[in-house]
Amino acid sequence: MTETLSDLDWLQARVTELIEDEDSIDPDESLIFYGLDSIRVMTLAGELKERGIQVSFEELARTPTLNAWSALIRERRAG
Amino acid sequence: MTGLTLALRQVGGETGMPLPAAIAAARPPRRVEYVAGRMAAQVALHRLTGQAALVGMGPDRLPVWPEGIIGSISHNRQNAVALAACARRYHAVGVDIETLMDAVTAREVLPVLGPVGAEDPLNLTLAFSAKESLFKALYPHVGFFGFEDARFDPPCALVLTRDLSPDWPAGRRFTVNCRIGHGRVLTWVALQARNVAPPSTYRSAMVICPA
């Protein structure tokens, strides 16, 4: 559980870094709208894999919001 | 190509362009990208039709083109590109611009792209961009599909690896247009209208394009 929590903290921090934004991110707003482009989404999929979380680029791209990605990560960690 | 135009604009600087509320509230980098994209769209439209027209934003955040026109917009951090086409001649178009990947990013995207031929950053960027362009062209017709559903066929084509719809079966090959240079890769897919029904999101009336 603590592992999951740190994954989500990491996700939030990494996404904030990737979109180069200091403001808070609306967790239900599309991250593409914040300027996150598809190459960065793909990079993030690779980084999640390195953390042992199997999430594909397509899964991330389908609903690119922090809430949807957090749910995906929780699901993979639980599975 | 008749009935199709492309326009490229640099990202940077605000104009007096009226902005949708969601964009006006967005952070400055997003605003300037939006403005550059819409300005590129206006230039492409003007070249195509000889008339000035605005490209709006729909509730789904996708661009809203004038009747009889289909189009696509893309940007990286430096440039925005727009493609506009007459709906009577083209039924699906998609454009994509990517900054040339560095070696680290290229290594990261390689597993997802599938077989691409040469594995240098330029070829990987090209394969990635081509798949983005095809996705943007076909998404209004077939809905979401993945990177693995099309195989990159060098030098610059894509082949479907599964049936996306009766119109687009596995094995269907798409020529992808590309321009390479200035540290970027620009690709576009433009499918000429045949006997494929227009997507429901496009209006069919022809008011602007010359015959």
Which residues in chain B are closer than 8 Å to A21, comparing Cβ atoms? 27
Chain A interface includes B146 (CB < 8 A): yes
Chain A interface includes B112 (CB < 8 A): yes
Smallest CA–CA distance, residue A6 to chain B, in Å, is 23
> What's the predicted TM-score (pTM) here?
0.85
Instruction: Point out which residues pair with B153 in neighbouring strands.
Output: B157
pLDDT in tens, B58-104: 877 789 999 999 999 999 989 999 999 999 999 999 999 999 999 98
Which residues in chain B are closer than 8 Å to A62, comparing Cβ atoms? 144
Smallest CA–CA distance, residue A18 to chain B, in Å, is 13
Of A23, A37, A57, the CB nearest to B27: A23
B146 to A42: CB separation less than 8 angstroms, yes or no? no
pLDDT string in tens for chain B (211-residue length):
589 999 999 998 767 788 888 888 877 778 888 899 999 999 999 999 998 888 988 877 789 999 999 999 999 989 999 999 999 999 999 999 999 999 988 888 888 888 898 999 999 999 999 999 999 999 999 988 988 899 999 999 999 999 999 999 999 999 999 999 999 999 999 999 875 555 544 443 334 565 4
A33 to B26: CB separation less than 8 angstroms, yes or no? yes
Query: Rounded to the nearest 10 degrees, what angle do helices B121-142 and B103-113 cross at?
Result: 50
pLDDT in tens, A37-66: 888 898 899 889 889 999 988 899 989 999
Give dist(CA A17, CA B200) in Å, integer: 38
CA distances from A45 to A17, A24, A40, A66, B166 (A): 15, 22, 9, 14, 31
Give dist(CA B178, CA A72) in Å, integer: 35
A interface with B, Cβ–Cβ below 8 Å: 20-21, 23, 30, 33-35, 37-39, 42-43, 45-46, 56-58, 62
Which residues in chain A are closer than 8 Å to B80, comparing Cβ atoms? none
Give dist(CA B206, CA B66) in Å, integer: 10
